[in-house]
Homo-oligomer: A and B are copies of this chain.
Amino acid sequence: VSRTTVVSAYDLLREDDWAESRPGSGTWVQPVSGSRSSRRQDILARSLSRNPVFETLLTGPNSMIDFSRANSGNPEGLDPELFAIQGDDLAQLLGQPGYAPMGLMALRRAIADRYTCTGVPTTPDQILVTTGAQQAISLLATLYVQRGDNVIIDNPTYVGALDAFRAAGARLIPVPVERDGVRVDILRGLLAAARPQIVYLMPSFQNPTGAVLGHEQRREVARMAAESGTAVIEDNTLADLALDGEAPPPLAAHAPSDAPVITIGSLSKLFWAGLRVGWVRAPESIVVRLARLKVVADLGSSVLPQVIAARLIPQTDHVKELRRRELLPRLDLFGGLLGELLPTWSWTRPTGGTFLWVRLPYGHAGEFAQLALRYGVIVTPGTTMSVDESHTDYFRLPFFQHPDNLREGANRLARAWDAYAPFADAGSRAVSVIV
């Protein structure tokens, strides 16, 4: 390897994105055709300083396929220059103090206008810009939850929500999610019995199940929020990734304007997570209280990505179509491979989002995930996404990755399953004999 190659590879490593172990969701490591984590990067950088022959480390058989998350960059077909900040943007921004605790007014207006145009009348005063949907959840947890308070949460659910509510000291009360979304009848009973501070749901393309809550059920949940006065969060982070048609209107569309229905949105999936632009839409009285927490948390997110975000939001419909064109062939590809290579695994084809919720015919997904690591694939077992360590026979696979990753990952999963299945099957048969 020439010195030039080493130096340019080293530069590449330095410039690269960083990804980290997320508590409870495994390590985010380099996909074969994606970005490299910097934990790995650091190891590589260090080994590089001892040994310039590093290339097999980068591309060799040790490279992990990271199926612990979907892996979206910016949308194919959208002009990258829309993400630029230059000339006029800078002239308007620089010289300003640069603090915008609730978000730039231009962005809050764009978000509000988008809701209004899709049938949910909204003013900018109802919008608080956050550093991604995760900060929205985290601020809401801080606002509503004191140690020991009850929180009802769909189960399984987004791990970042579990983390945020647990960090706030919540007692988490699971409400099951089935093929048609969260069980609203059970939710009604729990609301009366547990008197929670807050309810957290993901009604559209639920993470991890992909389930979509129907119109009538949404109406009922909105009614519950209005009648009980209990705050209901709808996390619509994945709602724009419909593969076929559209997600139903948000819960907020069915609620009186003063009902405590809190909608979380994000540009991370549709446009790009590196913007870290999310928001809360809620009655103004809630937004005002949340804004005070935002001030204490960070005095406001950076205004630069917000200028970009304000420009991107009017592109939403166009980009939904672009994403659809990216996602559908990948779902078809990955679904086909799994059907062929792993015919005993079961899953329902989702109508949106980025994940398959896969059920093993026998065995324990946590054990299988451990074994899969040795075959070079990182997968997240269902227990990690469960309030109560349930869903032991499920795990989550992303189909939103580079096609090369999907192909190689499916093959590795098949090899791992070949190694795991006989033992797991024997185990399950042994158990059935004993019982």
- Annotate A237-274 by CB proximity to B: 1 below 8 A, 0 otherwise: 00000000000000000000000000000001000111
Binds B, one of A76-84, A217-225, A386-394, A414-422: A76-84
A74 to B147, CA, bound (A): 42
Of A268, A297, A301, A303, the most chain B CB neighbours within 10 A belong to A297
Q: In the complex, how many residues of chain A place their beta carbon closer than 8 angstroms to a beta carbon of chain B? A: 81
**Contact assessment for A20 and B295 in the assembled complex, using a CB-CB cutoff below 8 Å:** yes
Residues of B with C-beta under 8 A to A96:
16-17, 34-35, 73, 274
**Contact assessment for B305 and A304 in the assembled complex, using a CB-CB cutoff below 8 Å:** yes
**Contact assessment for B105 and A41 in the assembled complex, using a CB-CB cutoff below 8 Å:** yes
- Residues of chain A in range 80-106 having any CB-CB distance to chain B below 8 Å: 80-81, 83-87, 90-106
Residues of B with C-beta under 8 A to A17:
93, 96-100, 104, 303
**Contact assessment for A97 and B85 in the assembled complex, using a CB-CB cutoff below 8 Å:** no
A134 near B: Cβ within 8 Å?
Answer: yes
Tell me the smallest distance from the CB of A116 to a CB of chain B, in Å.
16
Tell me the smallest distance from the CB of A284 to a CB of chain B, in Å.
12
Of A84, A85, A131, A274, the most chain B CB neighbours within 10 A belong to A274
A291 near B: Cβ within 8 Å?
Answer: yes
A157 near B: Cβ within 8 Å?
Answer: no
A22 near B: Cβ within 8 Å?
Answer: yes
A351 near B: Cβ within 8 Å?
Answer: no
Residues of B with C-beta under 8 A to A305:
302, 304-305
Residues of B with C-beta under 8 A to A295:
20, 22-23, 134, 163
**Contact assessment for B304 and A275 in the assembled complex, using a CB-CB cutoff below 8 Å:** yes
A298 near B: Cβ within 8 Å?
Answer: yes
Chain B residue, CB-CB nearest to A124:
B42
Residues of B with C-beta under 8 A to A435:
none
Across the interface, A85 reaches (CB within 8 A) one of B15, B84, B99, B296, namely: B84
A105 to B41, CA, bound (A): 9
Residues of B with C-beta under 8 A to A14:
105-106, 109
A230 near B: Cβ within 8 Å?
Answer: no
Residues of B with C-beta under 8 A to A424:
none
**Contact assessment for A23 and B292 in the assembled complex, using a CB-CB cutoff below 8 Å:** yes
Tell me the smallest distance from the CB of A15 to a CB of chain B, in Å.
5
Of A15, A97, A131, A273, the most chain B CB neighbours within 10 A belong to A97
**Contact assessment for A98 and B274 in the assembled complex, using a CB-CB cutoff below 8 Å:** yes
Beyond A132-B298, A138-B297, whether A272 also contacts B41 by CB under 8 A is: no
